[in-house]
Amino acid sequence: MVAITPVELTDEEQAINASERKEIDQAKRRRRDVRTFSTLGINAGATLTFTKDDQITCTVVSNRKVFFQGEELSPSAAALKVVHGMGYKWPAVSGMDYWEYEGVKLSQIGDQGDDDELTE
| pLDDT tens for each residue of the chain, 120 residues long | 565 777 787 888 888 888 888 887 777 666 555 678 988 999 999 999 999 999 999 999 999 999 999 999 999 999 999 999 999 998 999 898 999 999 999 988 875 444 444 544
Q: Following DSSP, what letter does each residue of 15-73 receive, concatenated?
A: T--HHHHHHHHHHHHHHHSPP-TTTTT--TT-EEEETTEEEEEEEE-SSS-EEETTEEE
Asked if 64 contacts 35 with a C-beta cutoff of 8 angstroms, the reply is no
Q: What is the pLDDT of residue 10?
A: 84
Annotated domain spans of the chain:
47-108
Backbone angles phi, psi at 3, to 5 degrees: -70, 140
